[in-house]
Structure 1
């Protein structure tokens, strides 16, 4: 018998004897899938959370005041205030040399006395003329001149008196007084300098009162009312404030409005600071997840939800504000869902997992699962 025929015969014989056992092996019970990873899980539930709206903005004075020069040609001879000084309304800040003005006042007062004497004489002359008018004793031209002299002297006296008032007012301007209670935030006064009217020598923060001008998106403005509390984070400390009002118009480029917050006096805040703060909007019930449970894929956030037979399903969620203990979930989960926490980033949709036995007192908020997988600790406890 040829060798090739022998090989074919032996193969057929082998299939005849082993065929039934191979068929039985293929139809036997399938082995359960092996777990892909050991994970920890947590059952989600609603928790009470304080709603926070974060914003940034500048610290500015509630109201400014400028102390400017109101006279000209005078030398600054004394300065009594410096930057940082707390001043009261009417307090003397600086003083100009008033020698020239006082001399002019003395000259004007002498001119007033002279004008008064001239007027008295002109008035007497006018009285006599009025008695003689119509009698033919004086000509009409002479009478008109005397009556005109009376009016001229009256005008000269009034002019001298007005000049005296102006000089006395100019004398008052040589003393720069604080217009309001406040603190000096800037000073440009230099001894011996001569200034022009309108030049600012001091800048005040009225009542030393500061405000936070927070930029807030238009969609959140309706949540902020007068009296809403705010907390500013300044270095290692915090400063409290209260919403006073909102700007009546939005910025056309940013579509944001300015919210003005009155601040409690504090050495931590200074005008010109740019700080972050949080508005307290009250409390609400939300679902909060630990950040470790989040899976970022293709720009969206997902979590793995534990289903029957310890299989996990990838579920897309929408997150809200960031919190100290996690993130807020806006949609995608309901109370009672069990999600994977540790190990979530190494899983794929449909994987089978092994749930770790975690003590609830060692990992707060983490589910402690029994052998049957039925017992979970309440989130947030």
Structure 2
């Protein structure tokens, strides 16, 4: 009987020890999932640059409406629509038959007057003719020269040439048309350089300077970026819009940009290396921004930071973090301040 009692007590003690060990293990298992599994990223530096965005309209470096300065019939069209012409290329000839006839007549008169002047000069030098007679002949020569200059000027007005190299537009007149002064014949645009005018809020004036790089894109070439330089920043701010007008120039060797195009503009300034964090690591509450920093003790501590520019999934940190610190980038929704955390590598080590 005594033996049976001792046996029962031994079994009860063994069961108690077994139950206690199992409960402790269960508590440990329940506790372990309470330590959130997170992913950490080391804080590093990346390149950043400020970008000011605007919208502008493209203009040719030089652009005019080619017009007549006299009323006359169109004789010949000397250009093709859309072609590139050089400076002084004859574009249109107006009727000038009468002027050419008058020019021939005056040239003959000039020859006679020049010959008479030479004779008068010799006679005057020999004291054969008086000063008055010589002056009269000199006047006749100058008068003939003036008539010649006048008719040549009239002919020049009837020969319309390109004042600069560029591309002609659509022709607005035909041979035989009677045009008046100011009638538009075509357009002429120098597309070798494009001027882009746009406005920038006055808050960015301090960042603008001549020679700064400007990038522009347009709907016509969605995959292409054009690079230019700021050529001038206006000396005045518009008091109504509180914006300043800026002009940039773009080399246009392939003539892809056309006058009138709407361009999306980015001004690039202040290139620098700054502390950077992935955008997914940031917690924002209104105007305040935080990250969870994890030290060697694997405890997540909530820290306020000051952020700057955002660039392709990365955020510039102006203050609050140091290069090399570890921050939480995955599992943020499971983390609280001053809470221990674990990474996937630690979880794997625990299981093994």
Give the TM-score, by structure 2 length: 0.66
Q: What is the aligned partner in structure 1 of residue 85 from structure 2?
A: 87
- Determine the C-alpha separation between the residues in 2 that align with 1:186 and 1:251: 38
Aligned-pair CA distance for 1:48: 3.6
Aligned to 2:5: none
Q: Give the distance between the partners of 1:204 and 1:69, measured in 2 at CA.
A: 10
In structure 1, distance between residues paired with 2:254 and 2:269: 23
Q: Alignment partner of 1:370: what SS? A: helix
Q: Secondary structure at the match of 1:251?
A: strand
- Rate the CA distance shift 1:50–1:354 in 2: closer, same or farther, 3 A: closer
Residues 196/153 of structure 1: CA separation in 2 closer, same or farther (3 Å cut): farther
- What residue number does 2:224 align with? 238
- Please say if residues 229 and 240 of structure 1, whose CA atoms lie closer than 8 Å, have aligned partners that are also in contact: no
* Aligned equivalent of 1:173: 157
Q: Deviations over 1:252-280 (max 9, x none)?
A: 34344525243352454222223334455
1:347 Cα shift? Answer: 5.9
What is the 5 A alignment of 1:275-354? 275-279=263-267, 281=269, 284-306=272-294, 310-313=299-302, 315-344=303-332, 346=333, 350=337, 352=339, 354=341
Deviates more, 1:48-57 or 1:93-102: 48-57
In 1, Cα distance between equivalents of 2:101 and 2:52: 63
Query: Considering only CA atoms, is the larger Rg found in Structure 1 or Structure 2?
Result: 1
More strand by share: 2
Query: Which secondary structure does the structure 1 equivalent of 2:152 belong to?
Result: helix
How far apart are the structure 2 equivalents of 1:155 and 1:321?
Answer: 79
Aligned partners of 1:51 and 1:280 also within 8 Å:
yes
Corresponding residue number in structure 1 for 2:188? 204
Cα distance, 1:191–1:104 mapped onto 2, change above 3 Å? same
Root-mean-square deviation over aligned CA pairs = 4.5
Q: 1:250 to 1:55 in 2, by over 3 A?
A: farther
Match of 1:46 in 2: 44
Verify the 8 A CA contact 2:191 2:258 in the aligned structure 1. no
**Contact 2:86–2:162 (CA<8 Å) still a contact in 1?**
yes
Q: 1:193 to 1:342 in 2, by over 3 A?
A: farther
Distance 1:88 1:152 in 2: 46
1:38 touches 1:355 (CA, 8 Å); kept in 2? yes
Contact 2:300 2:335 survives alignment (8 Å): no
Q: How far apart are 1:161 and its partner, in Å?
A: 3.9
**2:346 corresponding residue in structure 1:** 370
- Structure 1 residues 83, 61: closer, same or farther in 2, change over 3 A? farther
- SS of equivalent to 1:72: coil
Whole-angstrom CA distance in 2 between matches of 1:351 and 1:54 = 40
C-alpha contact 1:115 1:157 (8 A) present in aligned 2: yes
